[in-house]
Structure 1
C-alpha cells in the first residue's frame, strides 16, 4: 500500500524542503488542502512549485473546492499541471462547507453540489479535446492522462460518494478506520451500480504528529485553529495520532479495509516530520 504526506499550511516557504525530502523518501504523494478565507497557500500554485522541485512524487489537492472556481479556467490549470508533470497530478475535489469561502466568491452554498456535477461534465469534455460549445473551440492543453488527470472525490454523504462512480476515479476518505469501512463499501457499491470497470481507488487520511511534546502541542493547536469553524475541532484533534505504534496500527487497519493509499496529514511545521515518518515506515 502506498503512503503519502499531507503538507502543513502554516509556512509555505518551508514546503520546498518538505517536498524534496518526501521525494527522496518512501512516500508516494504530496497532498495540500484548500481554503480561500484562510492563511494557506493556494494549492494549484503551490503544488506546481513543488512538482518542479521534485521528480517522481505525485501532487494531490486534498481537496480542492471546485465550486469556488471558474470551470473552464480550472480545467485548463489542471490539464497544464498534469501535462507538465507527466501525469503526476491527482485532483482531489470537494464542495467545501465554510460560509465565508462562498461569500467572497459569490457562489451559492446551497447549490454547490449541483455546480460540482456541472463542472465535472464540462471538464471531462474539455479534457477529452471537445469544444467548449456555442461556437467556442477546445481549451487546451491536452492533459498527460487521456480524459484528464486522476480525480478523487471527498465526502461523507451518499450523494457525495456517488459522485466517485459518476465522474471520478476514486474516493478520498478523511475518516478513522473504525467507520471508514462503511464509506469504502458505499463507494464500491456505487461503482458497481454505474457498471464501472475494476474498482475505485481508495485513499484514506490520518492526522499525525511525531516529535517532542512542544511539536505535538503545536500541531494540535494548528489543527484546532483550522477546524474551529466546524464546531467539532476538539473531537478531531483528539483523533490525531502521535506515536509510531498508533500510526502503524492505523495504516495496517486501512490496509485490511482495502485502501490503496494512506495520506499522513501533518499540522506540525517542522520538515523533520518527513524524516520521522520515513523512519516509521
Structure 2
C-alpha cells in the first residue's frame, strides 16, 4: 500500500521544503486542500510549484472544489499541469459545503452537485480534444491521456459515491476507518452497477502530527481552526493521531479495508515531520 502526505497550509513558501524531502523519501503523493475564503494557497498554483521542485511524487488536490471554478479555464489549467508534471497530477474533486466560498465565487451553493456533473461532462469532452461548442474550437493543451488525469471524488452522500463510478477513477475517504468500510462497499457497489471494469482506487486520509509537544499543539490549533465552522471540531481533534503506534495502527486498519493508499495529513507546520514519518514507514 502506498503512503502519501497531506501538506499543511500555514506557510506556502515552506511547502517546497516539504516536497523535496518527500520526493527523496518513501512517499507516493503530495496532497493539498482547497478553500476560497480561507488563508490557504490555491492548490493548482501551489502544486505546479511543487511538481517543478520534484521528479517522482504525484501531486494531488484534496479536494479541489470544482463548482467554484470556470470550467473551460479549469480544463486548460489541469491539462497544463498534467503535461508539465509528466502525468503526476491526480485530481481529487468535491462540491464543497461552505456558503462563503460559493458566495465569493458567485455560484449557487444549492445547485453545486448539478453544476459539478455538468462540469465533469464538459471537462471530459475538452480533455478528449472535442470543441467547446458549435462556435468555439478545442481548448488545449491535451493532457497525457485523452480523458484527462486520474480523478478521485470525496464526499459521503450517495450522489458523491455514485459519481466515482459515473465519472471517476477512485474514492478519497476523509473519514475514520470505522466509517470507511461501508463507504468503500457503497463505492464498489456503484462501480459494479455502472459496469466499470477493474476496481475503483481507494484512498484514505488520516490527520496526524508526529513530533514533540509543540508540533502536536500546533497541529491541534490548525485543525481546530479549519473545522471550527462545522461545530464538530472536537470530533476532528479526537481523530488526530500523534504517535508512531497510532499512525501505524490507522494505516493497518485502512489496509484491512482494502485501501490502495493512505494520505497522512499533516496540520503542524514542522517539516521535520516528513523525516520522522519516513523513518516510521521504513
Count matched residues: 281
1:143 aligns with 2:136: no
Q: Mean Cα displacement is larger for which, 145-154 or 200-209?
A: 145-154
CA deviations on 1:159-201 (whole Å, 9 max, x unpaired) are: 1110000000000001111110100010000000000000100
Superposed, which structure 2 residues align to 1:214-229 within 5 Å? 214-229=214-229
Q: RMSD value over aligned CA atoms?
A: 0.6
Superposed, which structure 2 residues align to 1:1-281 within 5 Å? 1-281=1-281
Separation in 2 of the partners of 1:133 and 1:154? 29
Separation in 1 of the partners of 2:153 and 2:179? 18
Separation in 1 of the partners of 2:87 and 2:146? 10
DSSP 3-state at the match of 2:227: helix
In structure 2, the gaps of 5 or more residues are none
Q: Is the 8 A contact 2:129 2:146 kept in 1?
A: no
TM-score, length basis structure 2: 0.99
Q: Is the 8 A contact 1:206 1:263 kept in 2?
A: yes
Give how far 1:74 is off. 0.4
Give how far 1:134 is off. 2.2
Give how far 1:146 is off. 2.6
Give how far 1:145 is off. 2.3
DSSP 3-state at the match of 1:183: helix
**Runs of 4 or more above 4 Å deviation:** none
